[in-house]
Structure 1
Amino acid sequence: MSKSLQESPITTPNARATLGVGVHWRGIDPEVHLGYRKGKRGGVWLVRWRSGAGYRQAAVGTADDKGSTKGGLTYEAAGKAARQHVEAQRLQAETDAKGPALKVKGAVEVYVGARNAREGKRAGRDKRSDAGQRLGRYVLGEGERGEQDTIPGAAPLADVDLQALGESDLLAWQAGLPAAMKATTRQRLVNDLKAALNAAYATNRGKLPPTLPGTIKQGLRAAVADDTAPVARDNQILPDADIARVLRAAREVDAEQGWEGDLFRLVLVLAATGARLSQVARMHVADCQISQSRLMVPTSRKGRGAKSGTITVPVGRDVMDELVPVTAKRPPDAVLLERWRHEQAAGTIEWHRAGRGSWRSSAELARPWQAIRDCAGLPDVIPYALRHSSIVKGIRANLPIRLVAALHDTSTAMIERHYSKWITSGLEDLARSAIVPLVPQNGDAQVVRLKV
């Protein structure tokens, strides 16, 4: 190819009509040329651009020549299409030079691996995270477990390159989720995928487009809340009498099953603090401050980033008296609430105690809890009802919503969203105290109508 480009008049149909059969070029950008190949029955647009030591060439579309019945691209439209093609090809070349294309599947697998490793470290054993179960089922297409529904095979989204990921891909994935899926489960799944994609972008910013975070945000934006969906069930807000029944049942089950007080103390602390089991399980002996009659509950690990610190929760003396036996003569950094661990003897079906350790997950409470609610005569109550009830009790006691949120390690927005019904009813007495009589009574000053 010659060093200087011989440009041809190809900007208008009239000018192109005077050209001979063949290819004619015109520069539109540095090292980018728009070409016109004239044939006997019309012409087509071409583009060529420098790539390395040579040039690459591609077709753009048909030209709007005089007498053409197929329409076609004008010179300006062809130039625009040519620039877009060259830009896309150069971007793809840069991406290829940086390594293999990243796919949604790879991003999800890396995220799931990290979450599983974190959960396993906390539990002290290999453990599959909730995020891993959800993403495995609805993105990676892992096999069914029990009666759980899955998307047959991997979702189409899994094979999409992150470089080319669009809002339409994410919206189509959401539309393909089971219609019967609960709104809360759907939102957790969407949040898991969003976290996986954002983590992949943070790790590979150099090879991904800067618009990807915006695409993820818009494609996985939160759905409009369904006002008809219950946010906190009435039957899980327990009156004091039912909480007392649960605690009495916990003590009875503890004695019958040989828990030696471990089960009862766990349920007691859950009821007294309204904390999550994952928080209570991380409490240490030093967090039980007997003389001040308070418990220091570790902050939740929910949300982004590493968290530390404790929340001061005052409790009754009766609660502290139950905890004294597990604090006496124990180091301050020892786990406050423990339970016996069991292991099966080699070559037998017998189990024996293998030492004491902390509660690892809410799944360990599932079987004894079934016995507790059967004993209490409350077949539908769940452990989280103790947290619901603690929050509502604070609201009904006219505590500031900010204080209720702080004591339960959550936000005022979550309190207002999930417990708005009880906020209104709980503050009724306070609002009633501001009522003043409005209707005049007999004997009051009479209203005198003035003559006009």
Structure 2
Amino acid sequence: MPDLSRITERDKLKARIGDEPHWQRLRQGCYVGFRPSKKGKRGTWFARVYNADTKRNSRKALGDYGKLEGHDVFKQAKADAELWADTVESGGERASDMVTVKDACEAYAKEKPCPIQDGILRRHVYSDPIAKVKLDKLRRHHLRSWRKRLEQAPALVTRNKKGAKLWKERAKSTVNRDMVPLRAALGQVLKPGAPNTDAAWQEALRPFKGADKRRELYLDKEERKRLIDAVRDDARPFVQGLCMLPLRPGALAELKARDFDKRTRTLTIGKDKNGNPRQITVPPVIADFFAAQVKDKLPATPIFARASGDVWNKDAWKYPIKEAVNGAGLPGAVSAYTLRHCVLTDLIRAGLPILTVAQLSGTSVAMIEKHYGHLVRDDAEEALASIAI
């Protein structure tokens, strides 16, 4: 059995009868093979694995690795053969119709639907050359090139069709968020490649460290009351709801009349970033507010709707909020997410356990600790100071 890792030994190999590859054992049941070219070309690599379910050997062509040279060719063929063997041995081969990166992303989007995620894939993956790259041929350099294009793509500040479109440089935190759907989709069908090799596709999608900074802008209750009073009539209930609950604006906008149960004072949040429906019980003062919003509405009607009857979205709510911010004399950076931050800050300051705050807001304990843990530490310091003798 030849040592295919040795270039000189590989170059001496001759074509075998029936074009059978020369095989090298990598581990029990797993082989990498090489078929020399009869026309003096590079030759073709193969993988072979014993399938315990069918009790037969399965074979797969890996290609000629035309862009690699020297010892990198064998390293890549070995990694691909072992990766494919792992897939077969675990009982799951990729679906035959899942060939390209776009196929993997569409399958992931179908399994875990999310409007924001779908928009990211449509803008940055499906219309990009990466979409047509075959999964079997996907390498770190493909994703590095895609990431560079993503980082250089300007971010759209406004989508106002009546005025000129404004653009800004894409922030590192935005790049981190825009890489998530592609990384998740590929992670469903590809195993991580060997570190520091071109097979390590996952290395190109590592997020920037320290890019997600916590929000510092805070409005006290009096300032939030001024904002509510200044906002136009059709947007006032929606803005007031943002000031009452630690929900993402999109989750609040998607609430339907059927999602609020007046008898039990429970609110069901069915559409949110994490995709998992959850229920929260609200106090009487908030329950009365929601009862007034759902009065005489059909179950499928949005609790908070624009004057046109349409559901609020980020391109609709930002204008009335911006107008109200200016009218109330508040900092210009105030946005819908600022209000969520304010509510979360108040809940932490009130001494609510971090786990409970995480459950109410639909985020992880780790994220709450990361962005609001300093508030807990400050309160602990004050509590310790109060008992000093």
Range into which the TM-score falls when normalised by the shorter chain: 0.5 to 0.7
The separation in 2 between residues aligned to 1:100 and 1:284, in whole angstroms, is: 38
Q: Deviations over 1:79-107 (max 9, x none)?
A: xxx964249534498459x9799333554
Change (3 A) 1:113 1:213: farther
CA contact (8 A) 2:230 2:328 kept: yes
The separation in 2 between residues aligned to 1:363 and 1:222, in whole angstroms, is: 30
Shift of 1:409: 1.2
The separation in 1 between residues aligned to 2:200 and 2:32, in whole angstroms, is: 27
RMSD of aligned residue pairs (Cα, Å): 4.2
Decide which of 269, 283, 294 is 1:298's aligned counterpart.
Answer: 269
* Corresponding position of 2:252: 280
Decide which of 117, 120, 128 is 1:130's aligned counterpart.
Answer: 120
1:271 aligns with 2:255: no
CA contact (8 A) 1:395 1:426 kept: no
Change (3 A) 1:400 1:88: farther
TM (norm. structure 2) is 0.64
TM (norm. structure 1) is 0.56
* Corresponding position of 2:348: 395
Change (3 A) 1:299 1:324: closer
1:194 aligns with 2:183: yes
Gapped regions of structure 1 (runs ≥ 5): 1-27, 37-43, 59-81, 121-126, 142-153, 202-208, 342-355, 438-452
The separation in 1 between residues aligned to 2:176 and 2:212, in whole angstroms, is: 15
Decide which of 295, 305, 310 is 1:328's aligned counterpart.
Answer: 295
Amino acid at match of 2:224: I
Shift of 1:412: 1.0
The separation in 1 between residues aligned to 2:119 and 2:222, in whole angstroms, is: 36
Residue pairs, 1:249-260, within 5 angstroms? 249-250=230-231, 253-254=232-233, 259=234
* Corresponding position of 1:161: 134
Shift of 1:406: 1.3
Amino acid at match of 1:225: K
1:46 aligns with 2:13: yes
Shift of 1:396: 1.0
Shift of 1:161: 2.9
1:119 aligns with 2:125: no
Amino acid at match of 1:196: A
Task: Give the SS at the match of 2:12.
Answer: strand
Task: Give the SS at the match of 1:190.
Answer: helix
Indicate the structure (1 or 2) with the bigger Cα radius of gyration.
Answer: 1
Task: Give the SS at the match of 2:13.
Answer: strand
Decide which of 413, 435, 440 is 2:366's aligned counterpart.
Answer: 413
Q: In the comparison of the two structures, how many residue pairs are matched?
A: 308
Change (3 A) 1:213 1:185: farther
More contact order relative to length (CA 8 Å, sep ≥ 6): 2
Shift of 1:267: 0.9
Decide which of 296, 300, 309 is 2:278's aligned counterpart.
Answer: 309
CA contact (8 A) 1:369 1:383 kept: yes
Change (3 A) 1:57 1:221: closer
* Corresponding position of 2:225: 244
Change (3 A) 1:396 1:100: closer
Decide which of 302, 307, 321 is 1:369's aligned counterpart.
Answer: 321
The separation in 1 between residues aligned to 2:305 and 2:319, in whole angstroms, is: 17
* Corresponding position of 1:89: 45
The separation in 2 between residues aligned to 1:407 and 1:177, in whole angstroms, is: 33
Gapped regions of structure 2 (runs ≥ 5): 23-30, 36-42, 49-58, 63-94, 153-168
Change (3 A) 1:401 1:134: same
The separation in 2 between residues aligned to 1:225 and 1:102, in whole angstroms, is: 32
The separation in 2 between residues aligned to 1:129 and 1:430, in whole angstroms, is: 47
Shift of 1:269: 1.0
Q: Deviations over 1:37-72 (max 9, x none)?
A: xxxxxxx6133234xxx33699xxxxxxxxxxxxxx
Shift of 1:272: 0.3
* Corresponding position of 2:215: 233
Amino acid at match of 1:283: L
Shift of 1:270: 1.2
The separation in 2 between residues aligned to 1:55 and 1:290, in whole angstroms, is: 74
